[in-house]
Structure 1
């Protein structure tokens, strides 16, 4: 890796890679969970929320950034005995490749099944997380392959925590007309608001989402996804946030999770089949 485009660093004593494109855009990616914890567009500020009380350590889930959820989303998926949000976000990945072009830089991390994961989930798999930065754009792609002969199913997500100045003033556009499940109220409806607002605990899974726009004061972030059939929108609200040990009790106001996901219908991969899903974030400028 070059010293300028891909720097090996440490965050709370854990190895990470800082990826920087020629125009100055950068992302910081932990080897722990292949988790992006910072995205700074060229000439801009960090666009992701990372809890100041997050603990980055082996076996720990890191509160913020973009946790990789696989092969189980919460308790929804093929195997409810698995840890919440799966196997990958608390384990060390390895750097598979990196490259820098004239307008972007890209890093790919890989995780192959181990004896430890097979003891929890008896399947062979390969997962790759590719992170690409360019100017005001961040691309995240999760690739999954079944190298074995036995089919298996999974649910997954890129659990993206976006920073906001005040979530009660933020607006999320692009959900109108989409079916959703409200997991707080255990209800199912069709979204009828052109601009979604947030005033407390919010936890919904929407289907058929492709293109969203986050408005946060003058800031605009375009959020698109491909390969992912669902999107999860989540904020813990004041009461649940106060109960979280790794997050300041007032910080629910400063984050909104907009997650590319596959939740409602598990994805099944047969022998040697593969799947990928991408989420792209673009900070819009005037």
Structure 2
């Protein structure tokens, strides 16, 4: 059984539509895939409608958080998307993405890069606009060769010259909101140091005490020693260790199913969730 619990579609910063994503997941030989777009659930309905027979969809979201100035992402699974308090909080974070992207465009313009908001918005195509869309516009102009090259201190990395702050969840509040909506929380790629500063082991322990369910261990941004360290920390703290691709379509080099979650861990996630259930495919179009 092959289970990938972290993917993105055009509802945020992926390049596959939700329908394309589930079809591609089935073609990649996955049995279970989670759709975890940034701070929103706008792709869920399309993914469910297109879900091929033999593939199960886990609905979720990746929440933008910050703890003591350090950015972190939290995967939320199988929550009740209609629960009003959590829905309002997601909308607030998601709606802040446009003014933030506009600010990054303005900073790039001041640095002599002729990126336009209109082009960034067109690349986002109605999804939750973010740095990858700004980076894609920079690639089109030949400022950088790849989206990844835009995520440097020179440009869009945290505290980079064209970086702009955004509203983010407090992770302890995020855990509370997800739990109240019947969901399960997993800290995403917590030791991806090449992305910038990461939270400490003691901070992860505090989050575990507050109800965090798991930690993403097997991920493209964790080398083998880091994965071993995280697996040990998860065992020490009683956290569920997961594995995922963090698939973004053609925007990143990772592929569906590059890393996967143990079926027993997946079973425990589904047992803990009370807000929603995995959706089995019935042969979508």
Give the TM interval when normalised to the shorter protein. under 0.3
Higher share of residues assigned helix: 2
Larger relative contact order (CA 8 Å, sep ≥ 6): 2
The structure carrying a bigger strand percent of its residues is 1
Normalising by structure 1, report the TM-score: 0.28
